[in-house]
């Protein structure tokens, strides 16, 4: 009898231990999954910030140079008598490097992390050459050497820019893929928590991004103003539905979610969601009338980018919200 009792106790103990062990494993697994997901989001936000600073700071400096000299390595011909150049501050370079350095952090996102690591030295090199050019033209050294060093700097810049551009593209493609994944994950949480303004904001931006990338992929310019009108009409219809859903969520007087946002940038964001929709409507009208112009397309691109700019400022300045992610600027 005593032996039977001991055996029963051992069996029960074994069952309890197994049960508890399974429960703890599940809890540990759930915690690990949540931590990994949070770390991916943290890395994603850092990479998006790096991308957006690059697009803002480096592109501005390159645009100034392009207006004066172009970026054709085989053709150095000053276009203007007064040269406007722009430098890249060490603060911005350091900030980009800081954000890109997340490639060392877990979890590893193979293609994206390796691309970020390869991109970093290309940015430093390009920024240094841009700053050399700024010094050269500000000091008017071209008067002393008849543009001898200017030609050398032009070759260096064009070579460095090509290297940067290729590595930036290698970085940006997987970043956009991750952006879709992170947006979907965020939208699921917003819907679950009834945060409908956040949900419809992301939904609209992703829809606008789809339209933006589709138009860009068709390589439309002054010589080629042919747009896949059927595809555009389909995407424009979806965009129209999404903007209505966002506006309804914002105008819902029972929704107190709106009070969470930093109001100045949020209002500008909402304004540019409508400007983006309006620019798409103009393209639709132009297509229907058979008089599409590059101006209409550029207006859509500009409003789209401005919309994303103000959304990211909402993320930056809405200190009371901890579940907003940055959105990449193209």
Q: What is the pLDDT of residue 1?
A: 46
Q: How confident is the model at residue 161 (pLDDT cuts 50, 70, 90)?
A: very high
C-beta contacts of 259-267 below 8 A and 24+ residues apart: 260/318, 260/320, 260/321, 261/197, 261/314, 261/318, 261/321, 262/313, 262/314, 262/317, 262/318, 262/319, 265/310, 265/313, 265/314, 265/317, 266/310, 266/314, 266/318
The pTM of this model reads 0.83
Topology, domain 193-330: 1.20.120
Q: What is the pLDDT of residues 208-254, one digit of tens each?
A: 999 999 999 988 877 788 899 999 999 999 999 999 999 999 998 67
Q: Which residues contact 153 (CB under 8 A, 6 or more apart)?
A: 129, 132, 133, 136
Over residues 66-92, the pLDDT tens digits come to 999 999 999 998 877 778 899 999 999
Residue 136 to residue 316: CA distance in whole angstroms: 36
Q: How far apart are CA 158 and CA 66, in angstroms?
A: 10
Domain locations in the chain? 38-180, 193-330
Grouping H, G, I as helix, E, B as strand and the rest as coil, residue 72 is: coil
Confidence at 14, pLDDT banded by 50, 70, 90: very low
Q: Is the pLDDT of residue 4 over 50?
A: no
Residue 28 has pLDDT above 60, yes or no: no
């Amino acid at each position: 009898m005593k032996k039977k009792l001991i055996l029963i106790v051992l069996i029960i103990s074994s069952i309890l231990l197994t049960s508890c062990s399974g429960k703890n494993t599940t809890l540990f697994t759930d915690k690990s999954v949540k931590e990994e997901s949070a770390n991916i989001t943290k890395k994603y936000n850092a990479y998006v910030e790096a991308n957006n600073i690059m697009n803002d700071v480096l592109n501005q400096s390159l645009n100034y140079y392009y207006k004066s000299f172009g970026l054709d390595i085989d053709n150095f011909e000053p276009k203007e008598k007064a040269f406007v150049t722009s430098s890249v501050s060490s603060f911005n370079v350091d900030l980009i490097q800081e954000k890109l350095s997340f490639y060392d952090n877990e979890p590893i996102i193979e293609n994206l992390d390796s691309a970020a690591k390869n991109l970093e030295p290309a940015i430093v090199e390009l920024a240094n050459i841009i700053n050399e050019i700024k010094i050269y033209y500000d000091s008017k050294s071209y008067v002393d050497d008849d543009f001898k060093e200017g030609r050398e700097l032009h070759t260096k810049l064009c070579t460095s820019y090509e290297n940067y551009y290729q590595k930036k593209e290698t970085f940006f493609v997987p970043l956009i893929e991750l952006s879709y994944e992170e947006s979907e994950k965020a939208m699921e949480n917003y819907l679950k928590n009834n945060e409908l303004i956040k949900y419809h904001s992301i939904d609209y931006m992703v829809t606008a991004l789809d339209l933006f990338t589709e138009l860009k992929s068709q390589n439309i310019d002054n010589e080629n103003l042919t747009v896949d009108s059927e595809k555009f009409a389909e995407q424009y219809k979806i965009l129209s539905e999404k903007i209505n859903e966002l506006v309804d969520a914002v105008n819902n007087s029972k929704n107190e979610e709106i009070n969470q946002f930093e109001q100045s940038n949020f209002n500008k964001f909402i304004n540019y969601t409508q400007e983006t929709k309006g620019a798409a409507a103009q393209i639709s009208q132009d297509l229907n009338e058979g008089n599409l112009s590059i101006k209409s397309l550029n207006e859509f691109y500009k409003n789209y980018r401005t919309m994303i700019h103000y959304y990211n400022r909402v993320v930056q300045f809405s200190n009371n919200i901890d579940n907003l992610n940055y959105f990449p600027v193209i």
